[in-house]
Structure 1
């Protein structure tokens, strides 16, 4: 809370590029705002893709302003960036979620250690903002925190196989949340898994496998950034969803 108040009263350096003494919006300078607003979600596939990874859309490469803002949000306590980042994530989700069908957004969970260091689950926070944006634009969307994660090694120190093994062994289904979703008939929703960054795709593949064990079929994944972006032509349904998203809300990105 105090970091957000400080940002309003005495704004620090731009979260995207580090520039100081420049007019800022949501803690980001005008140049970085323009860069972020110019991002468009595209299909991305790690090379090689892990078995079981769903089709995945990323809003951009893990570079430039997007990388800076993500790091500021995750590692520097700039929690006020959750709103514009959530709007970016919503634009990626909209590519794969038909506007007139129920939508369930499942965030990749954080470990207890990461939650302590970041003062909360950073992906749950982003997913909540994304769902609010989608609801305002006409989607019948909800967040489904149906997974938890046991302690595991830092993925940065692991290769692709190590990431896959660590993710598969640490993920747990929250059965009580599954029962709530069944009672609310949410199990028939379009299900989109969301994460901040995709590198090898091992975590998204592991999450998809765990959800499948609970009879939950993942439609697609949406992430903010891809470390190695492989672009493909936008799908017809994706273009239609994005047009509807913009039409209903006016401006797809805020930060």
Structure 2
């Protein structure tokens, strides 16, 4: 069976994207962190004007959440800052993940699992088992994995997030343990605890909204309306 080739324009685009990533990785490995963050932040700012679809999604989602309290100009300023901060945070990722070390990822994951710590994201609309709970004032399909794991194992749930502060230092924000409630009705427990965890992630995002991925289609999946 023959594999279908990408159109020439896409192959060229991906090739130059590949070269750009390799260049940034090389730069990140040998350059001072301050220079890497400045350069990647600049690229993030430039990408705001180049990736129209992501820009529109970011502005739309920010407007959905903050439109009542902020003007269009303020929303656009926030959107630009989102791209800028994603670029800077990506710079730190590039510095910490060098190409030669990619093969070590599986070892890192195994070590984390052996220590009994699991990190889970619940602020994304994915195809995993999910329930609709309130997120930023709107129903959002939210993964139940974290709640299910906590209910069935008794594991503690500690909300945390990483953000870049004004001094360009990565800070780990750790919040108090979330109390997981169990009633014996797993469906209700999954919903209620996922809602609680969703509110915790909402609290993290509101610490600095410009450092969340607003171009992600968080409210893409819609609840089915019974006919």
TM-score, normalisation: structure 2: 0.27
Write 1 or 2 for the structure with the bigger share of strand.
1
Task: Give the structure, 1 or 2, with the largest relative contact order (CA under 8 Å, sep 6 or more).
Answer: 1
Structure with the bigger percentage of helix: 2
